[in-house]
Amino acid sequence: MKVAIFLALALVALSSGRETGLRHFKGYKVFSALTTTRDQLEALRVLFFSDEYDFWTTPNGLGVTDIMAAPEQIAQLVEVLEQHGMNYTIKFNDVEKLVEEEREANTRAFSGRIDWVSYPNYAAILDFLTTINSNIATVSVIGQTTEGRDIHVVKISSGGPPKKSILIDSNIHAREWIAGATGTWIINELITNADTYAGILEEVDIYVIPMINADGYEYSRTNDRMWRKTRSVNPGSSCMGCDPNRNFRFMWGGESTSPDPCSDIYHGTGPFSEPETQAIENFVLASEAAGVQFLAYMTLHSYANMWLLPWGYTGGVYPPDFPAQLSLGQAAIAALRAVSGTIYETGQGADLLYGVGGASDDWAKDHGIKYTATIEMRGNSFVLPPEQIIPNSREVWAGLQVVIQRVIETVPVEEDPTPVETVTTCGGEVEASSARINFQLDATIPAGQTCIWVVKPTFDRTRVNLVSSGLLFGSGIYFTEFNAYSGTPGNQVEIVNVGEDYILSGNFFLVTLTVGTGPNQGFSLDWYSSGLAGGPPAFSGFAALTTPTGSYSYPVGGGQYGNSENALFIVSPETAGARTLTFTRMDVENDSSCSYDAVSVLTWVNNQYSQIARFCGNSLPTPFSLPTGLALVTFTSDSSVTGTGFGFSWA
């Protein structure tokens, strides 16, 4: 089999110029193009998806994008940039010089063994892994690459039964050498300073996969420094390899992927078509079957100075526990910055960088691993000087220790024996581990009455129990999960039967009471949260507006709204009756599909929240009829271009 693979590789090499010898980059330039308008951004995205250029960073929001152009492409690229009025600078005038300087520095420093002052070859990495001699480290082979190289995982543990665990992977992309160097540095740090980490290792097991894409890594060292993919053979194509970080099952074939084997973002023939990605999936499944509980999955990449959170497959979608993900990301980059001053950003991956289908971190999150992140490490190119290996590793390790501490603190919590808070008003905001809503127990509720309670459970599992109810047919109580970051409703459950338990997941709910015909008697409802801490969402703007009539303006106090905002305004008058919602001013970034910044209006229709409008720009929409008097006004903004916001009234 290995002979057959070798012959196939040789045939492909003969059929493609880029597959033979050492690829040179003489005359290649890297342009930093600045987009300040949406039209400019769209022009860059057309170039990106043409696969004609090597985009070192991806055009997502407005700002700077790095693009490498071959000598014969430079005139065309400059023409496109100038046609669209884009300012640009030449970041690297000769990529060959950049690569050669790295090669020379690495050759001078490399001793033949891993030393973290140079980038080692796979043989040195293999020697390091197979000669580890430590009572806290176990090295295992979890699979082989296409070309037969072993893929290793190192388990760092104080021993005993499986503990809560974190998995760190490295070098899934071949040219990102700093990823593998950081992975091996972390292993060495834990082994050589075992006493320092004894307390951590009493609580958690740490697994590190230091080199996933060994074939691609070696090829990037010997043939093509900018090689990104694996080295698998693609039947019917002279182009080799697959982007392994587009090859995982979750959202496979989605954004920023390609069906073209010649593309750097080729997603493969199907999910887990590559032996490298199969090895990761098989390892996780086998470990869990043996009792391992992975609570964190961190994947090391370069370059962007970003700590990217789920979901990453598209912009504007967030897992229910995103507040917990965000608070962890913020704490991690603060610890990282404290080491040497390196500044990172954190946030939802596609919002900050670009949407990616079939990525490892989203697959891990979808699989059930609570905390996941892609760490795009320091640098202004894929060629990070070897003298930065140790400084980079130290700061990333500081961030990862925050993740480990969060894993240690992530302990399932039991329910309170009785509710810790009681609410008796029509609507209100409750942030607690449990609560009871007693509404009009000794009085009647008039026909047409509506109420909304904002419920923020402390933990991620909520049990709801209707203790008593005098509601008549046609009236109802509904728990609606609400995603604070996309401004959209999620799963909804009607609470109908007294004494029955209803189980929900999430950290933010709208509890809606609607009363049909005739006066109804009141009700008593308990909810209890348990499980893992999630944390309530952080809104950039929030208000529960309960007066019979009124007006509201955002931002409060005037001025410009900010980037990456998420705001929710609940119109829920305390007296029954239909209302009209009228917008009185609008200044929100405009585009034809309102895909950047937008105001949305949702109302209660057929016992659920439905979006009736989404708009942006400066034009005032026509007034909205609210038959039940209820409305949700949501606002989201992206990472650039702002305005003075909006105002509305209800009467």
Active site residues: 376
- Whole-angstrom CA distances from 11 to 14, 24, 234, 235, 238 are 5, 21, 12, 12, 9
Classify the C-alpha dihedral 413-417-423-426 as positive or negative.
positive
303 preceded by a cis bond (ω within 30 of 0): yes
> What burial class does residue 497 get, using C-beta atoms within 10 Å of its C-beta: 0-12 exposed, 13-18 middle, 19+ buried?
exposed
Type of residue found at 417: P
CA-wise closest residue to 246 among 220, 289, 213: 213
Q: State the helix-helix crossing angle for 389-409 and 322-340, rounded to 10 degrees.
A: 140
Cα dihedral value 256, 260, 261, 263, nearest 10: -50
SS3 call for 544 = strand
The answer to whether 631 and 650 are in contact (CB under 8 A) is yes
Q: Which two tokens stand for residue 541?
A: 């703007």
Q: The tokens of 388 are what?
A: 């930065």
d(CA 564, CA 527): 32
Element at 202 (helix H, strand E) = helix 198-203
**CA distance between the termini of the chain:** 76
- What are the tokens at 500? 């029955």
Q: At residue 557, what are phi and psi to the nearest 5 degrees?
A: 90, 0
Q: How far apart are CA 358 and CA 161, in angstroms?
A: 33
Residues 6+ away with beta carbon under 8 Å from 472:
516, 517, 518, 520
Q: Are 223 and 22 in contact (CB under 8 A)?
A: yes
CA distance 287 to 281: 10
Rg of the chain on CA atoms, in Å: 28
3-class DSSP string for 145-212: CCCCCEEEEEEECCCCCCCEEEEEEECCCCCCHHHHHHHHHHHHHHHHCCCCCHHHHHHEEEEEECCC
DSSP annotation of 103: H
**To 10 degrees, what angle do helices 38-50 and 74-83 make?**
160
Is the Cβ–Cβ distance between 51 and 262 less than 8 Å? Answer: yes
